Amino acid sequence: MAAGNGNEMSAVVLHKWASPPSSNPSTSDLSFDLECLKVETYLRLAGIPHETEVCPTPSSSPSSVLPCLEAGNGEYAVVGGLGDEIKNDSKVATYRILHHLKHECQNLNEGLSETDRARDVCFSSIANGILKEACEYFTWTNEGTFIEKTRPMYGSKYPFPLNRIVPNKWREKRGAPTCDEIKARVIASQAFDVIETMLPDDTNGSDKLFALGSNTPTNCDADLFSVLYYVVFSNATESLRGELKAYPKCIAYVENVKKYVQARKPLNAGEDDGTNVDGKNIDPTTWRDGARRKKQQGWVEKEEKRKLSPEEKKMRRHAVYSVLFALSSVVAFVMFSPGMTMWCVIERDRRR
């Protein structure tokens, strides 16, 4: 299955996390996990024949890691790692799988000029570097999104208390401990600025569908689209969508490539698969404004306190009076109870 040898490629099997929360997940839906999404995007863009198996937990995959790829002629070999050196690291598994696909199946960068290769590396570096770091912060490191969004998604198939313990362990490996909320917003906006500048001007033209301004994808499209798609559709990246709202070319790029990717389903997708796919166009007007809309680095919008209505003020005032009355009643009971009076008399006689 060497790349470029002209031989027909045998199908590979991708074991992945499920699609975004759904009562009836489909094999043709893209995964909610960023690492699985990167591999799945490359398979579809490269046109590699593949099947997908949705796993409720990593232990359900052949390598006990997600993503996991089974590839080979006749006898399937696991790609994505077995052995102690991988230590259930999904990032290492993703790197190994993509390296295998590019060298053994199809490399999308074949035939590119030196200039286009350099641009391709720039796009991939931005997507896999600072933009991915921002995504990992809001997915795994940020306390609020981890508890409300990430932990329920990854721990839903585990019984209590494993549904909390297991995601907490993954958080130690997949988080961005050197990042905070201000840095995540700033570096994400910087990445969007660069991507917006480098993307072709007319992203709606058929000849400029992909990042390098061509009608065929390259390696950077798998990296760039997967991370931007994650920003747009993940439950954990609402804050980053607010920053992305100011970059129309980035949004148009995600919209165009999304249609291209979703049209290329896995081999085991049924005729009715894909009914869960959102066919609507991306509507950034529904996103909340980012914290840096005023062009201030690190500016975080503060929530305005809601003014109380006259009825609420009256109720609170009565509540304060009620508490004060209750406290005075307790003090009066303690001070003037028969037991306290007798104790005072005895103490007075003793001192005499």
pTM reported for the whole predicted model? 0.78
28-33 contacts: CB < 8 A, separation 24 or more?
A: 28/52, 28/262, 28/265, 28/266, 28/269, 28/273, 28/274, 28/277, 29/273, 29/274, 29/276, 29/277, 30/229, 30/261, 30/262, 32/153, 32/234, 32/235, 33/66, 33/67, 33/90
Q: Which of 98, 47, 37 is nearest to 237 (CA)?
A: 37
pLDDT, position 332: 74
Fold that domain 111-271+281-303 belongs to in CATH: Glutathione S-transferase Yfyf (Class Pi); Chain A, domain 2 (1.20.1050)
**What CATH number labels 1-107?**
3.40.30.10
Q: Which of 56, 57, 102 is nearest to 79 (CA)?
A: 102
312: Cβ contacts below 8 Å, ≥ 6 apart: none
143 in the Ramachandran plot: left (φ > 0), alpha (ψ -120 to 50) or beta? alpha
Residue 67 to residue 38: CA distance in whole angstroms? 9
Which residues pair with residue 79 across a beta bridge? 69
228: Cβ contacts below 8 Å, ≥ 6 apart: 127, 131, 195, 244, 250, 253, 254
pLDDT, position 316: 76
In the DSSP assignment, the letter for residue 295 is S
Q: Tens of pLDDT along the chain (352 residues)?
A: 444 444 466 789 999 998 765 545 555 689 999 999 999 999 999 999 999 999 999 988 888 889 999 876 545 567 765 544 555 688 989 998 999 999 988 999 999 999 999 999 999 999 999 999 999 999 999 999 999 999 999 999 999 999 999 999 999 888 878 899 999 999 999 999 999 999 998 655 556 789 999 999 999 999 999 999 999 999 999 999 999 999 999 999 999 999 999 999 999 886 655 444 455 678 887 887 765 444 444 444 445 556 777 777 777 777 777 878 788 877 777 666 666 666 666 666 676 6
pLDDT, position 122: 97
Residue 273 to residue 110: CA distance in whole angstroms? 32
What residue spans define the domains of the chain?
Answer: 1-107, 111-271+281-303, 311-351
> In the structure encoding, which two tokens stand for residue 352, read together?
């005499």
